[in-house]
Amino acid sequence: MDVKIKPSLLTIRRNKLRYIILHHTSEIYKDSKSKINNNKYQMKGIYDGTLELKHGDVNYNFVIDKIDGEFSVFTCRPFTFLCDFDDIPDQYNRSAVHIGLMGNYDFKISEKRCYEILAYRILNPISKMFKIPETNIFFHRELSDNKDLTCPGLFVDKTVIISMMRKYLIK
């Protein structure tokens, strides 16, 4: 169920942002420090994984990690560059911004606070800035040609994400 990504140089984005794709980090980064989202700073596991895998940069534009009881959004690969997902059709990937939730949500239920931070710190600002409709927010597994893929995890609920976005929408 893992995602295979070749070592890569960064590819400059030529297309307008039209899609947001959600992930959990355990699909790529295997370091035990980044497999389950605990209360500690775990981005180091992601950075180490990037070096180990010889990727050009973290393969998400943003990662959400929980530290000291609060979720924070980390800017990783600048969204002027594409992320590399061989299993996502180019028509989507070339226009997508990728957000990774730290951990593995096949095993863990996402916290309400994680959804709140996801919605108001990142999904709403990006949707607004690039005029991306709710219908263009996808789970990785919805676009992957790997039918066994569960990313961003079986416990992540899109209905809750969308309702949080509506709740925190700044008009």
Q: Which is nearer to Zn ion, 156 or 165 (CB)?
A: 156
Residues 141-160 binding Zn ion (CB under 5 A) are 151
Q: How far is the CB of 60 from Zn ion (least distance, A)?
A: 9
27 binds Zn ion, rule: CB under 5 A? yes
Closest CA to 139 of 95, 100, 86, 94: 100
Query: Kindly report the CA angle at 61 between 138 and 17, in degrees rounded to 5?
Result: 60
Work out which of 62, 140, 143, 156 binds Zn ion, going by CB under 5 A.
140
Residue 10: Cβ within 10 Å count: 15
Q: How far is the CB of 123 from Zn ion (least distance, A)?
A: 16
Tell me the per-residue interface mask from 30 to 69 with Zn ion, x by CB under 5 A, - otherwise.
----------------------------------------
Q: How far is the CB of 151 from Zn ion (least distance, A)?
A: 3
Q: Sheet containing 137-139: which strands, arranged edge to edge?
A: 70-75, 62-67, 96-101, 19-24, 137-139
User: Whole-angstrom Cα distance, residue 109 to residue 130?
Assistant: 30
| Contact between residue 119 and residue 164 where contact means Cβ atoms under 8 Å apart | yes
164 binds Zn ion, rule: CB under 5 A? no
| Contact between residue 130 and residue 16 where contact means Cβ atoms under 8 Å apart | yes
In sign, the C-alpha dihedral spanning 84, 89, 94, 100 is negative
23 binds Zn ion, rule: CB under 5 A? yes
84 binds Zn ion, rule: CB under 5 A? no
77 binds Zn ion, rule: CB under 5 A? no
# binding residues, Zn ion (CB under 5 A): 4
- The residue ranges that bind Zn ion (CB under 5 A) are 23, 27, 140, 151
